[in-house]
Amino acid sequence: MKSSLLSRLELNRRRDLAFKHKHLLGIQGLTSSEIVSVLDTAESFYEVSTREVKKVPTLRGKTIINLFYEPSTRTRSSFELAAKRLSADIVNFNKQTSSVIKGESFKDTILNLEAMNPDAIIIRHSASGIPYFATTFCQHRIINAGDGSHEHPTQALLDAFTIRQEKKNFKDLKVIIVGDIIHSRVARSNIFLLNKMGAKVVLVGPPALLPVEFKNFGVEIDFNLDRAIQGADVVMMLRIQLERQAANFFPSIREYRNLYSLTEKRFRKAKKNAIIMHPGPINRGVEISTDMADSAKSVILKQVENGIAVRMAVLYLLLGGKKREAID
Amino acid sequence: MRLLIKNGRVIDPSSKTDDTLDLLIERGKIVDIKTKIESKGVKVIDASRLVVAPGFIDMHVHLREPGQEDKETLFTGALAAAKGGFTSIACMPNTNPVNDNRGVTEYILSETKKNSVVNVFPIASITRGQNGAELTDMADLAEAGAIAFSDDGLPIEDSQVMRRALEYSKILKTLIINHCEDKNLSGEGVMHEGYYSYLFGLKGIPASSEETMIARDIILAKKVGTPIHIAHLSVKGAVDIIKEAKKKKVMVTTEVTPHHLFLTDSLLENYDTNLKVNPPIRSEEDAQALIQAVKDGVIDVFASDHAPHTIDEKDVEFDKAPFGINGLETAVSLFLDKLVNKNVISLRKFVGMISTTPAAILGLENKGKICVGADADLTILNLKKEIVVDVNTFKSKSRNNPFHGWKLRGAPVKTIVGGKIVYTSSS
């Protein structure tokens, strides 16, 4: 047992040589082999969470700050558990009980947290580009846990891990991503990743939520779910935010549900062994019917489970092993 | 005081002059222009290998005083203008309080008289407090010295109010300037809407937000029969609309800034807030169309839309940063390097667009030209001088300029206002 872990870590050490980044800001900055190295590393950490003692000493003595400016259930606890299972110390920053409420700026908040000498800061924020902004003045490692409508790299990596688990490889898979594409960081990171891995991506949604310029991302777009879902291997549904209706992105929830909700009838047009994914939180009965969300084809909770292994891999690749020259 | 400028290449678009000439200046006026002037007891400037142009006029700047003196003051804004080669600037009314009454206009003019090294012409607001609803006392403001009227970044949304403003401007010899933007279409946008806004996950400002309001304003100006000036053109579609309107003899004039000509939206990849400006930096295709429009004469004027903001305001997340580029001290070198020295436009055309034409549009009779009797406002240029933009050397109080580090060829080396040398470059 112990020796197998050691050999695994040795394997990881070799992998991390292939992952020379100081930060994880987005999928855009990663190569396909780096993505594979994250997924492989995650596979070796996957088993840790199934043990009775769910802990390895890999990151003992490292300090990580979980800086969440937006509400989050999955990503925040997933990063926290990932850090703890690697024996790192993690501090959770809660915007509501912080000096942000007193008007402290983002930059000052980071500078103050940095003064406490963490090894990495995990940031979730509603402003696109915030992790890049942080790297302009912060010396420590930055991990993007979702910035505005821009990127959510660990979500795309855990989605990829889940797809690989189910489908073995990405080549020529038809993945449809359905819903509020324009506002979705999950969609963007998944588009970048799936493109790099050779999958075929089709985006689906009403025109106001799916501008034609997305074609330039190297994907297909379709306003008709019934057509797009035909022959799909992976059906990825996105949460529809109810306030979008007020801004006339679509006329009503009823209308949206009629056109874009994943129902059993629609899902029958996908490939027989197709899987259903959703980054959460789900609106049951809106973008996905309850029977679909809970069906045997749904891997929604597997995504959540896999999130921990993938985030352990990311933390390990950035913080573990010997200090080495980072390339960015 | 008398001043003799010798051996300069004198460019005057109004008389189509492009010759090596001497200029004699006395009591703030040009009193003699000849191939050779000999005069004793005068201060002499040797302008050999330099260009002597009528003083540059920037009809779109924000000087922030009164109310936002942490960003800029009338004093520092004027210093920045002089360093940038401008002898006259027209300042927008979005101060605090808004320049919507005689008191503010008079304050700007009296402060300018006391402190300013360049001429400052206040632009008053069209509506009270820029509220878009009630017209200001335009005749009173014009009498106090307001040179034009604009609601600046809060364009008049109500078409009836715009029509009334244009109608009222007929009884005054004044100009309505509009920043054309349908704020409903812009929404919470922070950059040009297009491929790059979707890539960077930033909310977009569509080209249509500018185009629709320009089309409306042209229709209204045509109906009313008054001139209108469209501020900072930024998109190709707007160029097409203006081109059509000019063909139909609508009295419309337009301006363009260096940042809309020489920057494109892909540069926002690092979320640099110094690139956040309204109208936003547009696509490559738009920038190309603007350069073509300059060449074709569809665009009349060069302006900077100088909009200073403090470092603290700009050093934040992109969504939160204020819109605006600090442009007075880089505009002329950018135009010289990118347009004149690369032979995109002639030197005479450039001087026309940055001096003669803005003077004509604003009705500044004795400015924008070099002739006997004209104001001795002059900009002396060295077309070969190499500079590296360094925001830390700015005279402006603020530093928000995205051209920092750019190497440019061509720069103003001396600025003369009313016969007084107000700026001389260090080397």
3-state secondary structure string across B22-57: EEEEECCEEEEEECCCCCCCCEEEECCCCEEEECEE
Averaged pLDDT for residues A226-246: 92
A215 to chain B, closest Cα gap in Å: 9
Q: From the candidates B265, B266, B269, B271, which should be mutated to test the interface with A, based on the most A CB atoms within 10 A?
A: B271
User: For residue A323, what pLDDT is reported?
Assistant: 47
Contact B253, B229 (CB under 8 A): yes
Percent of chain B residues topping a pLDDT of 90: 98
Residue A325 has pLDDT above 50, yes or no: no
Which residues contact residue B340 at a Cβ distance below 8 angstroms, ignoring those fewer than 6 apart? Answer: B346, B347, B350, B383, B410
User: For residue A26, what pLDDT is reported?
Assistant: 97
pLDDT digits (tens, 9 = 90+) for B332-359: 999 999 999 999 999 999 999 999 999 9
Q: Is B158 assigned a catalytic role?
A: no
Contact A190, A225 (CB under 8 A): no
- A2-151+305-319: what fold? Rossmann fold (3.40.50)
User: Counting Cβ atoms within 10 Å, is residue B269 exposed (0-12), middle (13-18) or buried (19+)?
Assistant: middle
Q: Which DSSP string corresponds to B106-137? A: HHHHHHHHHH-SSEEEEEEPSBGGG-SSSB--
Q: How many domains does chain B have?
A: 1
Q: How far is CA A18 from CA A14, A28, A142, B400, in A?
A: 7, 16, 19, 39
Range list for CATH 3.40.50.1370 in chain A: 2-151+305-319, 153-302
Q: Which strands make up the sheet holding B228-230, listed edge to edge?
A: B56-61, B86-91, B119-124, B148-150, B176-178, B228-230, B252-256, B301-302
B-contacting residues in A 99-138 (Cβ below 8 Å):
105-107, 125-130, 132-133
> Across the interface, which of A128, A133, A214 has its CB nearest the CB of B202?
A128
Domain CATH for B134:
3.20.20.140
User: For residue A324, what pLDDT is reported?
Assistant: 43
Residues of A in contact with B185 (CB under 8 A): none
The catalytically annotated residue of B58, B217, B265, B305 is B305
Place of tokens 């402190």: B115
Q: How far apart are CA B418 and CA B364, in angstroms?
A: 14
In which band, very low, low, confident or very high, does the pLDDT at A101 lie, cut at 50, 70 and 90?
confident
Give the number of other Cβ atoms within 10 Å of residue A216's Cβ: 12
Averaged pLDDT for residues B193-204: 98
Residue A4 has pLDDT above 80, yes or no: no
What's the token pair of residue B292?
Answer: 């073509």
CB contact under 8 A, B202 and A130: no
User: Counting Cβ atoms within 10 Å, is residue B206 exposed (0-12), middle (13-18) or buried (19+)?
Assistant: buried
SS3 A54: coil
Q: Looking at the domain assignment, is residue B240 inside a domain?
A: yes
Positive/negative CA dihedral, B342, B345, B347, B351: negative
Fill in the DSSP letter of residue A298.
Answer: B
Q: How far apart are CA A138 and CA A121, in angstroms?
A: 10
B334: containing domain: 56-362
Which residues contact residue B143 at a Cβ distance below 8 angstroms, ignoring those fewer than 6 apart? Answer: none
User: For residue A241, what pLDDT is reported?
Assistant: 83
Q: Give, in words, the CATH class of A153-302.
A: alpha beta
Choice among A264-268, B170-174, B263-267 with the minimum mean pLDDT: B170-174
Measured between its terminal Cα atoms, the distance across chain B in Å is 25
Closest CA to B96 of B67, B72, B70: B67
Which residues contact residue B356 at a Cβ distance below 8 angstroms, ignoring those fewer than 6 apart? Answer: B12, B13, B14, B54, B368, B369
Which residues contact residue A135 at a Cβ distance below 8 angstroms, ignoring those fewer than 6 apart? Answer: A23, A25, A142
Q: How far apart are CA B36 and CA B410, in angstroms?
A: 26
In which band, very low, low, confident or very high, does the pLDDT at A7 lie, cut at 50, 70 and 90?
low
What's the token pair of residue A136?
Answer: 């302009």
Residue B23 has pLDDT above 80, yes or no: yes
Half-sphere exposure of residue B343: CA atoms within 13 angstroms, side-chain side: 0
Which residues contact residue A41 at a Cβ distance below 8 angstroms, ignoring those fewer than 6 apart? Answer: A12, A15, A16, A313, A316, A317
Q: How far is CA A5 from CA A10, A84, B107, in A?
A: 9, 18, 77
Verify cis geometry, omega within 30 degrees of 0, for the bond prior to B206. no
Measured between its terminal Cα atoms, the distance across chain A in Å is 36
Q: From the candidates B203, B310, B317, B320, which should be mutated to test the interface with A, based on the most A CB atoms within 10 A?
A: B317
What's the token pair of residue B211?
Answer: 């185009």
Q: How far apart are CA B298 and CA B221, in angstroms?
A: 17
Q: Looking at the domain assignment, is residue B385 inside a domain?
A: no
Residue A3 has pLDDT above 60, yes or no: no
Closest CA to B4 of B54, B39, B44, B50: B44
What's the token pair of residue A253?
Answer: 């929830």
B320 to chain A, closest Cα gap in Å: 8
ipTM, interface predicted TM-score of the complex: 0.90
Q: How far apart are CA B214 and CA B229, in angstroms?
A: 10
Averaged pLDDT for residues B257-283: 97
Kindly give the pairing relationship between strand B378-388 and strand B51-54: antiparallel
Choice among A178-192, A310-324, B177-191, B279-293 with the minimum mean pLDDT: A310-324
Which residues contact residue B150 at a Cβ distance below 8 angstroms, ignoring those fewer than 6 apart? Answer: B92, B93, B123, B125, B126, B176, B177, B178, B179, B231
Q: How far apart are CA B219 and CA B235, in angstroms?
A: 19
